[in-house]
Amino acid sequence: AAILLKLGGYGLIRISPLLNPHPSNLMFPIIILALWGILMTSSICLRQTDLKALIAYSSVSHMGLVTAAILVQTPWGLTGAMTLMIAHGLTSSALFALANTNYERTHTRTLLLVRGLQLAFPLMSTWWLLTNLTNMAMPPTINLLGELFIISTLFNWSPPTIIITGIGTLITATYSLYMFLMTQRGSISTQFRLLPPTHTREHLTTALHLLPLGLLIMKPALISGLFT
């Protein structure tokens, strides 16, 4: 999710100029499919019972935005795509790392079984909250900047796309909160009363994901390539 999807995005960035000036009837259906994929994969996330599957479908949903922005072929679209790809690479990797820390202790990825972990791991629950807020592009994260660039680009390309991107953003916020509440809140199962404590390396790994996301908003030109 953090590397291979970005290689695909890089390939689109390199190949798309070869089709420029591209006929609108060629790109239009592909962009519409990308936007439709955002809604479909986001909706699938709402009914997932497997934690890692939920995170994986979330990655596909975000890459739908990136694909549409790249194919529009405008400076703002490419800037938003670059920004969101880097931000999503760190966010998605952090979510998978947190999911693995849960799995190493509970040996299950089923959301219904791993509830109430905030009582056992309060600091890890804080990492979960920050990562989920980043995943839903809460300000002042770099994810928000990328999504604003992309949504503005698509709206300028075709105003009705604001409906699809708006609904997609709403569903993203919904399943991100759903993921946090299902894993951290509620009463912990009796079979998980004796859980091994978290380790410093796990907290360090998560911090090394979230710290760059927090610092990049200070100078987004490092990854956007739009401003000098």
The string of pLDDT tens digits covering residues 98-116 is 999 988 888 888 888 888 8
Please identify which residue in the block is written with the tokens 């390199």: 14
Q: How far apart are CA 171 and CA 168, in angstroms?
A: 5
- Between the alpha carbon of residue 125 and those of residues 46, 102, 119, the distances in Å are 21, 11, 9
With residues binned 3-state (H G I as helix, E B as strand, rest as coil), the percentages for the chain, rounded to 5, are 75, 0, 25
Burial class (CB in 10 A: 0-12, 13-18, 19+), 81: buried
Instruction: With beta carbons less than 8 A apart as the criterion, state whether 164 and 31 touch.
Output: no
DSSP assignment of 127-168 equals HHHHHHHHHTT-TTSHHHHHHHHHHHHHHHH-TTHHHHHHHH
Tokens, residue 100: 């693995």
Alpha carbon 98 to chain centroid distance? 14
pTM for this entry: 0.88
Q: How many helices (H) and strands (E) does the chain have?
A: 10, 0
Q: How far apart are the first and last CA of the chain?
A: 30
Residue extents of the structural domains in the chain:
3-222
Q: How far apart are CA 65 and CA 61, in angstroms?
A: 7
DSSP assignment of 184-214 equals HSSPPPGGGSS-PPP-HHHHHHHHHHHHHHH
From first to last of its 228 residues, what are the pLDDT tens digits of the chain?
A: 678 888 888 898 888 777 666 555 677 888 889 999 999 999 999 888 899 999 999 988 889 999 999 988 888 889 999 999 999 999 999 999 999 998 888 888 888 888 888 888 889 999 999 999 999 988 888 999 999 999 999 999 889 999 999 999 999 999 999 999 888 887 777 776 677 888 899 999 999 999 998 888 888 887 776 544
